[in-house]
Amino acid sequence: MFEFKCNTCDKIHQGVPTFGYEFPIYYLDVPENERSERCFLTSDTCVIDDKFFFVRGCVEIHVHGEEEPFIWGVWVSLSEKSFFRFQELYEVAERDEEPPFFGWLNTCFADYSTEEENLKTNVYLRNNGIRPYIDIEPTNHRLAVEQREGISKERLIEIYELMTHGKRKEL
């Protein structure tokens, strides 16, 4: 099992983590007092002003030497047409033969220094209620490279400490 002693809190952290975001970036751009009017948000979908459509999915990253992938829970924006198809299939158990939807990434990670908003993705539906698999367009963006090539345990520890504690303790 993946475990390491944390430099920041000195505890042993165990298990390959999953870190996710509860909203697309766009949601945070809507002033808080307007959100109840303009935004419809669930754990898997978000619609803003009846014209911007988002779904939540998983960017899975292989960790060298580990069986379980590391997962970023992210949001992508879909076209209206794709979104309604997504909704139609939401409760359908067998749906992985649906061709992928095109989506723009709409998550800005605490961890990557460059802009993640508007990376191109393909969104693959998975069966039995599992959130969609998000495939990032293979560019030189760090997130795309990490998805393509996997990451080391050291890199996962770096992400873990940052996401769990906000920042790493200076060594």
Residues 4-33 that bind Zn ion (CB under 5 A): 6, 8-9
Segment 62-68 long-range contacts (CB within 8 Å, at least 24 positions apart): 62/150, 62/151, 63/2, 63/16, 63/150, 63/151, 63/152, 63/153, 63/156, 64/150, 64/151, 64/152, 64/153, 65/153, 66/2, 66/16, 66/153, 68/2, 68/16
Q: Measured from the CB of residue 13, what is the shortest distance to Zn ion in angstroms?
A: 6
Q: Under the criterion CB under 5 A, does residue 63 sit at the interface with Zn ion?
A: no
Q: Under the criterion CB under 5 A, does residue 163 sit at the interface with Zn ion?
A: no
Q: Measured from the CB of residue 151, what is the shortest distance to Zn ion in angstroms?
A: 18
Q: How far apart are CA 23 and CA 86, in angstroms?
A: 18
Using CA atoms in the order 109, 63, 96, 23, what is the torsion angle rounded to 10 degrees?
-20
Q: Which is nearer to Zn ion, 6 or 47 (CB)?
A: 6
Q: Under the criterion CB under 5 A, does residue 3 sit at the interface with Zn ion?
A: no
Q: Which residue is nearest to Zn ion (CB)?
A: 6
Q: Measured from the CB of residue 11, what is the shortest distance to Zn ion in angstroms?
A: 5
Q: Which is nearer to Zn ion, 6 or 89 (CB)?
A: 6
For residue 93, is it left (φ>0), alpha (ψ between -120 and 50) or beta? alpha
Q: Measured from the CB of residue 108, what is the shortest distance to Zn ion in angstroms?
A: 23
Q: Measured from the CB of residue 143, what is the shortest distance to Zn ion in angstroms?
A: 23
Task: Please work out the total of residues on this chain that contact Zn ion, with binding judged by CB under 5 A.
Answer: 3
Residues near Zn ion (CB under 5 A) are: 6, 8-9
